[in-house]
Amino acid sequence: MTPLNVLLQIQATGTAVADSTLQVAPETVEMSYWEMAQKGGPWIMIPMLIMSFIAVYIFIERWVAIKKASKEDTTFMDRIKDYIMDGKIDSATNLCQQANTPSARMIEKGISRLGKPMNDVLVAIENVGNIETNKLEKGFNILATIAGGAPMLGFLGTVIGMVQAFYDMASAGNNVDISVLSSGIYTAMITTVAGLIVGIVAYFAYNVLVSRLDQVVQKMETRTMEFMDLLNEPIN
């Protein structure tokens, strides 16, 4: 056999192998996120979508409210002190109303109780502080419920999907196709993925808001102590 014939035979063999590889290579099946969501079923995915919208709305709305409550004039307490020392109670009250923050409303309540026992003043301020904190916490319980409930709802969808997959497999009898079982399994797992995504996002959103609220509450407590110290200062 001549070298030319050997080269031609090697080339022909390589071409045949390449053609067989192309024929055997499996087709890659791609699925969009929308198709995955549809596979999860409307009875599970629609509530998931609603919960995700609610969680995002609560997070944005509470973030704006808490951020607004945390803003305060750095000279606020100094001006309150000057007004009270000068006997300008009405000016101090007007300043609190203009500030319109939780801390300012607490100080305004304390000013309205001037002349009464110190314990009564402190209790009145603390009551207003509790009311303001409850206002800022509005929606937190819903966010916490979504964080815990979404994964459970997703797992419920997975269990239902697995039951359906095994039922289809049992109904097929001896003609069981592995594609039927695998399709049912990945369809069932989609609901768990969706539930975990919604739950994780709601969980982090809840903790971020709690952290921000703690900062506001700490500032409110600081203002309360400054006001009480002001009332305890001796008059020169």
What pLDDT, in 10s, does the model give residues 157-210?
Answer: 888 878 777 777 777 666 766 666 666 677 778 888 889 999 999 999 999 999
Angle, alpha carbons 39-43-44 (nearest 5°): 70
- Alpha-carbon Rg for the chain in angstroms: 34
Report CA-CA distances (Å) from 125 to 57, 90, 207, 212, 217.
31, 18, 27, 21, 13
CB atoms within 10 A of CB 111: 21
Distance from the Cα of residue 217 to its chain's centroid = 20
Tell which phi-psi region holds residue 100, choosing left (phi > 0), alpha (psi between -120 and 50) or beta.
left
Helix axes 102-112, 89-99, angle to 10 degrees: 160
User: In this predicted structure, what is the pLDDT of residue 230?
Assistant: 86
Question: Which residues, 6 or more positions from 204, have their beta carbon under 8 angstroms from its beta carbon?
Answer: none
Give residue 36's pLDDT: 55
How far is 95 from 157, CA to CA, in rounded Å? 56
The answer for 200, left when phi > 0, alpha when psi is -120 to 50, beta otherwise, is alpha
Q: Provide DSSP, 188-216.
A: HHHHHHHHHHHHHHHHHHHHHHHHHHHHH
What confidence score (pLDDT) does residue 1 get? 52
pLDDT digits (tens, 9 = 90+) for 120-167: 989 999 999 999 999 999 999 999 999 999 999 988 888 887 877 777
The pTM of the whole model exceeds 0.85? no
For residues 210 and 83, give the distance between their C-alpha atoms in angstroms, rounded to a whole number: 35
Q: What pLDDT, in 10s, does the model give residues 98-112?
A: 988 999 999 999 998
- What pLDDT sits at residue 231? 82
The whole-angstrom separation of Cα 223 and Cα 105 is 11
